[in-house]
Amino acid sequence: MFADFGFGVLVITFLLSLYGISAALIGHFKKKQAWVESARLSMLLTFPLLTLGALTLIYLLVTNDFTVKFVYDVISFDMPLYLKITALWGGQSGSLLFWSWLMAAFATAVTLRKWDRDREFLPWVVIVSCVTIAFFLGLNIFFENPFAHFWVSVSGEIFPATFQPANARLVTLDEIGNGTGLNPLLRHPGMIIHPPMLYLGFVAFVIPFAFALAALVTGRTDDRWIRLTRRWTLIAWLFLSLGLVLGGRWAYDVLGWGGYWGWDPVEIAAFMPWLTGTAFLHSVMIQEKRGMLKHWNMILIILTYALVIFGTFLTRSGVLSSVHAFAQSAIGPSFFIFIGVTFVISVALLIYRWAELKSEGQMQSMFSREALFLLNNLLFMGILVVCFWGVISPLISELLTNQKVTVGPPYYERAAGPLFGALLLLMGIAPLSAWGHTTLKNLAAQSNLQLEKRYALAIARLLWKPAVPALLVLIGLFASGIRDIYALIGLTLAALTTSITAYEFWRAARARSRAQQENFFVALWRLAGRNRRRYGGYTIHLGVVLMALGIIGIEMFQTQTQKSMAVGENIQISGYTLRYDSLAQFPSEDGRQVTRAVLSVFDKNGALLGELHPRYDVYPSGEPMTIPGVRSTLADDLYVVLVNWEGVSEQTTPFKIYHNPLVNWLWLGAFVFIFGTLIAAWPDEERETIPAQARSTQAAFQPGD
């Protein structure tokens, strides 16, 4: 029985991770290296074992074994093979197994690194990772078993259970028939890669957290743990960012409401660890460079871990399901206890080591690089608090007043908008502060101004040149008739940040090309290669600015209209004219009943720009799906939805039309963003080879000794 085999694998992996925890504890406290090594090996095995478990479930999915409840819930005969495989994360219990599997991949990878210089961290990294894996496997084993069968009782009732109940027999395939099939909304490329990306981001953040706790327990509280996990953190952050963007793209393509982000608690649940993770990425640099913000970094990584689990909890437990369509489950309390216990232990450790994490320096000026980084952190925390309050306010108000009060998207936009704007400005100034430091020295000689004023002056000196294009942009926007104050501020800030960043690239590359007698572009390339982290970071910032452009465009300038049209009728929106040409109904290859409208798009002068094909598909199971027709350019998107085919009279068809300016920059910016992260995270050959060289020279000496 494959399903029983799969369940067995889960149980064995669960016991193995418990063993790993015990062995690591013994190894640490008895100072026995052999036990630690045994713990390492047991963690090494988690990934191969869970791969076996996941493959078993995939096998059951691919072979349509509907006697297994999970398979019955997420697939049907008519689904294509790739969807049957990706249905692994299409339901509650499967997605939990998937989570553990990815977690195990990172855990196993971390056991394979060179540990010689960081032996003391090893047992604690094993413990944190194994505790996390064991918790998620425990959920699978005790509450949500993806390998549970259907059974038939004596009275003929069909019900799911893990083990054979008394007087029941296994259901036969004939009795079950066809499975329910995956929700059509989830049958989309964006939905296929969005959950894995998000989960990868979630689980990868466990690794830096594990090292942070190891540092706290062992008392090796210098920045070693941060240097070790820098790349892990970047990768985790990249995956999490990708997951969020892909989720937005999926919503835009599939949900047919003209937007990409609805401030749904479930979305926010994934956004919150991203906020703390981003703050963490920035503030660790200050610890590395200046030895400051040590407590703060610990707090951030502890929060990130808690929010990762909390995010999984919100989406998986059904705590908010009174209004949100998410699966009900018994796993809620377990999550709650797990988050509470891990959080309390982490904070207790932090307090225990508080004195040892003393700052090595003190901040001098409000305009210094350190202070700007701290400000950036505070803004991220501010957005986090806004989000957290928004998510929990219904629960709190119900507790206090017995009246459930919630807040919608306007709350988030109004409260978080100014903070995002401030971050955008800060992103622009950030590169200047690096220069500010050196310019300060020059300035210091010739002036006896106060420190603050000198810093401010230094930044102002560097700011004015890049500020000119931004000012021109502002004038241009104003001249073109835009009067919305928030839009003007946002777009000007975007222009300012872009021009400062470009100026920074240009200035540094020109200096290098003069000094080294290199071609400008060669200089630019080598410059970025030498200081990947800085220039990768600036590239990420450029990506974010482009994304901000798209967000400002759709949030502030979106227009929409709706109309029931007869064939041949026109509708106007934002200078475009759409003509409704025809409507056709036909079955598709995979059994969907497709209703497809054809609309011609004309510009202001009446020139034909193209056709749009909004669709309304009904799956064999009766579930409908609305697929918008989109004409996408760099300037704007025309987004047409064929609404509600069912209740339409014969003569007219209702359409909903959105005009989304600039939204494409959101997706383009994401590519720049990924590129920048890859630059920053690319392995540094020089640094990695130093230990290797040291070892080889050692080896070379030995025979001669």
Partner 1 sequence: MSQSPRIKFILGGLLILGAVIYLIASSTQANAQYFMTVDELQAKGASIVGKNVRISGAVLGDSIQYNPQSLTLQFTVAHVSGDNAEIEKNGGLAEVLHQAVVDTNRAHLQVVYNGPKPDLMRNEAQAIMTGKMGEDGIFYADELLLKCPTRYEQAVPEQSQQGN
Any contact of residue 78 with partner 1 (CB under 8 A)? no
Q: Are 264 and 250 in contact (CB under 8 A)?
A: no
Contacts of 657 (CB under 8 A, 6+ apart): 560, 561, 562, 563, 571, 573, 578, 638, 639, 640, 641
CB atoms within 10 A of CB 516: 12
Is 561 near partner 1 (CB under 8 A)? no
- By beta-carbon proximity to partner 1, the closer residue of 218 and 317 is 317
Residue 454 identity (one-letter amino acid): R
Residues 625-664 that bind partner 1 (CB under 8 A): 626, 643-644, 646-649, 652, 654, 656
Q: Which of 308, 307, 226 is nearest to 533 (CA)?
A: 226
CB atoms within 10 A of CB 551: 22
Is residue 614 within 8 A of residue 629, CB to CB? The reply is: yes
Give the dihedral sign, CA 354/360/365/369: negative
Query: Residue 102 or residue 254: which is nearer to partner 1 going by CB?
Result: 254
Residue 300 is classified by DSSP as H
**Nearer to partner 1 among residue 251 and residue 545 (C-beta):** 251
Q: Which residues 24-43 are close enough to bind partner 1 by CB under 8 A? A: none
What is the Cα–Cα distance from 32 to 564, expressed in whole angstroms?
77
Measured from the CB atom, the residue of 215 and 269 that comes closer to partner 1 is 269
> Which residue, 92 or 129, is less far from partner 1 as judged by CB?
92
Tokens of 603: 């510009």
Among 160, 190, 620, 624, binds partner 1 (CB under 8 A): 624
C-alpha 247/C-alpha 270 separation (Å) is 10
Binding-site member from 22, 51, 162, 183 for partner 1 (CB under 8 A): 183
Give the residue among 293, 233, 556, 239 at the shortest CA–CA distance from 420. 556
| Amino acid letter, residue 306 | A
Residues numbered 563 to 592 that lie near partner 1 (CB under 8 A) are 564
Between 264 and 518, CB nearer to partner 1 = 264
Q: Of 623, 668, 674, 682, which lies in the binding site for partner 1, with binding defined by CB under 8 A?
A: 623
Angle between helices 332-352 and 206-218 (to 10 degrees): 40
CB of 310 to partner 1, least distance (A): 17
Nearer to partner 1, 22 or 393 (CB): 393
Q: At 17, which amino acid appears?
A: S
Cβ-based nearer residue to partner 1, 149 or 532: 149
For residues 258 and 560, the answer to whether their CB atoms sit within 8 Å is yes
Question: Cα(563)–Cα(613) distance, rounded to whole angstroms?
Answer: 16
**Residue 303's closest CA among 205, 221, 378, 386?**
205
Q: Does 410 bind partner 1 (CB under 8 A)?
A: yes
Candidate segments 56-64, 155-163, 384-392, 632-640, binder of partner 1 by CB under 8 A: 384-392
Instruction: Scan residues 485-514 and list those touching partner 1 (CB under 8 A).
Output: none
CB 405 within 8 A of CB 394: yes
Among 156, 568, 622, 704, binds partner 1 (CB under 8 A): 622
Distance CA 207, CA 235 (A): 11
Interface residue with partner 1 among 20, 179, 382, 550 (CB under 8 A) is 382
In whole angstroms, the minimum distance from the beta carbon of 689 to partner 1 comes to 41
Q: How far is the CB of 473 from partner 1 (least distance, A)?
A: 27
Minimum distance from residue 341 beta carbon to partner 1 (Å): 25
- Provide the mask over 274-313, with x wherever binding to partner 1 is found by CB under 8 A and - wherever it is not: ----------------------------------------
* The binder of partner 1 chosen from 33, 63, 450, 519 (CB under 8 A): 450
Nearest to 692 by CA among 40, 232, 116, 111: 116
Question: From residue 320 to residue 349, what is the string marking binding to partner 1 with x (rule CB under 8 A)?
Answer: -xxxxxxxx---------------------
Q: Which is nearer to partner 1, 43 or 642 (CB)?
A: 642
Nearer to partner 1, 56 or 653 (CB): 653
**Residue list 389-408, contact with partner 1 (CB under 8 A):** 389, 393-394, 403-408
Among 41, 58, 255, 668, binds partner 1 (CB under 8 A): 255
The correct pick among 51, 162, 560, 577 for binding partner 1 (CB under 8 A) is: 560
Residue range at the interface with partner 1 (CB under 8 A); choices 33-41, 306-314, 344-352, 560-568: 560-568
Answer for the pair 217, 345: CB distance below 8 angstroms, yes or no. no
- Kindly provide the residue ranges of all beta strands, DSSP E only, lying in 146-197, ordered along the sequence: 149-152, 158-161, 169-170
